[in-house]
Amino acid sequence: MLFTSDNWGGVHPKIMEAILASGVGFAPAYGNDETTKTARDLFEEVFEHEMAVAFVPTGSAANGIGLSLLTPPFGAIVCHEHAHVLIDECGAPEFYTGGAKVLPAAGAFGKMTPDTVRAAMAPYDPPMAHRVKPSVVSLTQATEWGTVYSPDEIGALSNTARSYGMAMHMDGARFAGAVNATGASPADLTWRSGVDILSLGGTKNGCLCAEAVVVFDRSREEELTYRCKRAGLGTSKQRYFSAQWQAYFAEDLWLSLARQSHDQCQRLASAMRASSTIEALVNPAINELFVRMSHETAGTLREAGAQFYDWIQPGDVFAGEARRFLTSWETTDEQLSELAAVLRR
């Protein structure tokens, strides 16, 4: 009963097949191969926009590189106070940007609003040289609490960002889930709503290692390339990584997997809701379920073999009793039934 994280999951057979199929003989290194070129084209197709795109090994690296294209070292990045870029990347944004500051904005269940962004900006408006320069708003889609932004909500945040002269960054580690949840197109959720740069994650959704920095402005390609290179992010045998994207997008595999993960999460939520001692904190829009349960209940579940995370964030309002359960496309009905059985006891 593993509900720890979707990146504990394996590699989807179709992804693995694609990797295998790239395996024979010589091909130009560092992304100059045909597989990579095809993957790049596919990205432009999926997002209906020209772009500069870099394939990198991790989401933290993708976020760091993306943010470094949008803020000077003396700039400020505003994000949700529980954002991965703020809390869970060990300072990667600071490392990649050369020391920009990451400022927290409030918002229920991981979602900033124009108002909470404006509140965060108050001490920086009007800008003055004593204080870092407001440069980027970074939102996570889907958020760290498994909620999603609609295109309209993203558009409103973009307008707020623009009003301060700030750019828009999106951490899309679980972007597929957000596409599935909103029914909006990748384009609607990004550049059409004002997003400048997207970190697109595939690893949590069935890939082996597939993360991308999507820059909806091709003129930034040179800088993107240099920044990845000097961070040592360009794998030499890039084709094996690029091949994953082909399989990922083919026949909308990415969306099927997101749907499947979400379905299992809904089933998990139902099982939880049946328990009187557990409070579902927010309806799961993707494959993440957040519940409140006492340490005793949590202990009982863990003794029965369930694995999941306590969810302690800055400004915790759940007295340390928030817990995160993640499902994946590999989560089986058996696992869910087993957990339900434990809950019923």
Q: Which is nearer to a copy of itself, 51 or 86 (CB)?
A: 86
Candidate residues 18, 46, 62, 178; the one interacting with a copy of itself per rule CB under 8 A: 62
Q: How far apart are CA 232 and CA 3, in angstroms?
A: 33
The number of beta carbons lying within 10 Å of the beta carbon of residue 27 is 15
The number of beta carbons lying within 10 Å of the beta carbon of residue 7 is 14
* Closest C-alpha among 182, 185, 237 to residue 209: 237
Query: Residue 267 pairs with which residues in a beta bridge?
Result: none
Q: Which is nearer to a copy of itself, 130 or 345 (CB)?
A: 130
Angle (deg, nearest 10), helices 333-344 and 253-273: 10
At its nearest, how many Å lie between a copy of itself and the CB of residue 60? 3
100 forms part of the interface with a copy of itself (CB under 8 A) = yes
Candidate residues 18, 40, 43, 60; the one interacting with a copy of itself per rule CB under 8 A: 60
Interface pattern 152-191 for a copy of itself (x via CB under 8 A)? ----------------------------------------
Q: Which listed range, 93-101, 110-118, 148-156, 262-270, lies at the site for a copy of itself (CB under 8 A)?
A: 93-101
Candidate residues 38, 185, 235, 297; the one interacting with a copy of itself per rule CB under 8 A: 235
Chain-centroid distance, C-alpha 336: 25
Residues 6+ apart with CB under 8 A from 81: 104, 105, 106, 107, 313, 314, 315
4 forms part of the interface with a copy of itself (CB under 8 A) = yes
Q: State how beta strands 288-292 and 279-282 pair.
A: antiparallel
Q: Which of residues 38-57 bind a copy of itself (CB under 8 A)?
A: 56-57
237 forms part of the interface with a copy of itself (CB under 8 A) = yes
Q: Which is nearer to a copy of itself, 251 or 319 (CB)?
A: 319
Q: What is the residue whose two structure tokens read 């609607």?
A: 188
305 forms part of the interface with a copy of itself (CB under 8 A) = no
